[in-house]
Each structure stands twice: as C-alpha cells, then as structure tokens.
Structure 1
Amino acid sequence: MVVNNVVLVEDERELALNIKELLGSLGFYVSAVFDNALGALEFVKLNKVDLLILDIMIKGEMDGISLAMEIKSRMDIPIVFITAYSENEIIKRVIDVSPDGYLLKPFTKESLKTTLLLSLSSYQKRTNKEIEIRSDEITIQIRDKGFISLIPASDILYAQADGLYTKIITVKKTFMIRDILKDVEARLPSNIFLRVHKSYLVNKNAIDSFNGKILQIQDIQIPIRRGYYKFLRAMLGNHEEV
C-alpha cells in the first residue's frame, strides 16, 4: 500500500492550507480537502483513499466522528483525528470509532509526523498491509516557441502570478504560460512547493534565506503573506534567516 492519496477534512481554510503543506513536506500527497462531511463522504465513495485526516468540529450537521463511523461501516481506511477538543464526552465518542491516531491542536510538524507514522504502523499491523510513503519526481509540460518542453518540478525555482498567465522561473530559463497560478500549483507536488503569497509559489529547496516579510531565492526577494513566518520556520528548519 503506497500512501499517495490523503483526504483532509478541516473547516478552517487557512489552517487546512497549512496542514496540507505540512503533509506535503512529510511525503504525503493530499488529493482532496473538504470542510464538511458530505463532500468528503462522496469523494471517498468514488475514489481510492489511503489515509483520512479529520477535524472533529466541521461544517454541516455531521461532525468528524460521525463521518468516521459512516466510513468505517463501509470500508477500511486508516483514520486520524486532528482536533482542539479533548473533553471526556468527545473522547468517549472517539474511542467508539477506534481511529488509528489522535492529535490535539496546536501541534508541530514533528508531532504530526510522529502521529501519522505511528498511526500507519498501527494500521499496518492490524491489516497486515505494507505501507510505503512515496513522492515521485514530477514533470510538467510547458509550451515554448511551438514545442512542448518537459520540465522537472525540481528545476523550478518559483512561479509568479501575472493576471491570467503565470511566469515560471527555472534554473535555466524563464517561461510564461497561459495558466493561472492556482492551476499551476495543482500540477506541482505539494511536498515541494509552498504558496507563500497569493502571487508566488516557491520551491522550498530553492530558498536561501528568509525573514518575517520576505524570502530570498538567489538574488530575488519574494514577499511572504502575513502570519506565514512561523509556519515557514517550522517547514524549513535550519535555513538562514535574513
């Protein structure tokens, strides 16, 4: 079993984005994000899902625990709860579901990693399924002067929104493609590329230094969005700060 398709259910949009990026940095590909149970349930019915990560308090009449019980009655998927709630009544309901993991907010990248690895190990022992977390090299197609160029994702330094176009800067040259930045982001691995600003998507491995307002890639300074600095520090660890 290769853990490629992770579904995240989290109703706080900014937090969902941050968790998705954290998961990507740990080698997990998030195939879908939902803020409600019904959307997640329909997706799980129609698609192969390797791991389900649920907040408990989500939008709609069905909460995360009820969603987990519904899914458990239909199929066997490893389930991990991420929640800010630890009241006895909540814990009793969670125990009834028998999830593979439970993590209290706020959490760090390391605690998330530990919880997920232990949860998958528990699931593996319970089901005798081999678990592999893998992130393969991805290439994207870029039309350039009448030709299609195959560009390895690792060669891309950053991408910048330019109206209905996106400028893609690689280690060798710059391309201008007729796609909005959101669509380009969807084609690139979330474990490598970070949406640090509404207009910028950067390769985390290309970052040379950063502070609370900007990050540096070679001789280019790129702004980061408000509130992103702490998350960036957690993601990049020992990178130099300017």
Structure 2
Amino acid sequence: MSLKVLIIEDEQDLAENISDYLIQHGYEVIGIITTAEDVPEFLDLHQADLFLVDIMLKGNVKGIEIASTIRKKNPKSGILFTTALSAKSVLDKISDTLYDGYLLKPFSLKSLESTLYLISKKLEKPEENIKSGQKRNLLPIRDKGKIILIDENDIQFIKAEGLYLRIYTENKVYLIRDLLKTFLPKLNEEKFLRIHKSFVINLKKVKGLTSKECTILDQQIPIRRGFYKDFLSLLQSKKYI
C-alpha cells in the first residue's frame, strides 16, 4: 500500500516536480496546496500519511503554524519541513514543533526520497511512535558553516574546551563555540547533569560508575570531588543503573 503525501509548497513548479518524482517512486500524491489558509479545509475532507511543508509560505499563515494544525488533526502522520532559510531564529521556531524531518533548499529529489523513506519506516512502527510522541528538544548548532538541528536525546555527553564545546553523540562529535553555562539551560534538566566543571552528561547514557568517574561511550568522565554519593542516588532513583 503506497503512502499518501500532501505537498504544501508555494513554488508551483517545484511542487509539481516533487509530485511527479514521488509518483514515479510509488507514493500517492493526494494534492498540492500553495497557501496555508487552504490546508484546514483540505484536512477535513482528506487523510494523508506524509505532509511535505514549506516553512515560509506566502500569506499570513506560515508552514510552522499550519504544522501544528496538521499534528492535531493527524497525530500519527509524518511532517517534513522544507525551507531556504537556515537562520537560527527559524530553526528555533521549528524546534518548538513536533515534526519528523527537515530539508534545506535547494535539495535534490534523491535526498527528498531518502528522507521520506526514513520517515515512512518510522510510521510503520506505531507503538514506537507513541512512545516517542513527546515533544523533542531540537538544538540548533553550527556545523561546518551550516546550522543544523540535533536532538538532545542523541547527545551522550558534552566536554568544555576553553571557549568551545565538544558535543559527543553515538556516531559523531560536534565542535561548537559556546560555554557550558550558556548551553546547559537549553537542555532538559531531568536528563542532563553537570558532574564536573568541564563535563555535562546525559544520565541515560551512563554505562558504568566508580567513585571517581563514570563511563559513557567507552570513555571515562571525571566526577567532581564529593559528588559520588549524590550522583549514585540520583541514578538509582531514576532506575538508570
């Protein structure tokens, strides 16, 4: 059964190219909408599995706002944002919305297909979607000259190095210009903890613990003096060890 896609894009030529490509690759495109104001009425009459939403639509209502409407009416559908803007202010707004993917224009049709495929695989696992349906905290950071979004749940630990932070995820390490005291408030305080003047860790990622250090990603991270007992009690209370 092919997935139904609604394209919300104010560039008509681009929307039609995307539609043709998706149809050729097995998707059912149920419509192209060029203004956000027309989306609510369409949603009352049609159901879609995937929504491709341009963030900066023409008109008074923007893609980010209409995505909230989509999520309320179609909580199990996938939302993929597209935009030509990479400003941090735009990414901050995106991070407040529950969505499933993001593509920066201009993008190739092949990258679009790959992204939609990953979203579609996620939609095939409804139980996991329910568990992960809580709002994600997506953090805009600059990586190799581009602003990208990383999910805080992917962060293993953060190490301060002077005026820079090294952010460790399972598959990649990001180096950004920032300080722990300004970056830490952006993180969920229930998940992250500063255990040393130079380290913040994701509590769920702790794999081992001694009185002087904890283990994450096979790396030993020092614990500040006198903090071990409180740290151990915290991990035990959250049932992380």
TM-score (norm 2): 0.49
Kindly indicate whether structure 1 or structure 2 has the higher relative contact order, using CA contacts under 8 Å at least 6 residues apart: 1
**Structure ID, larger Rg:** 2
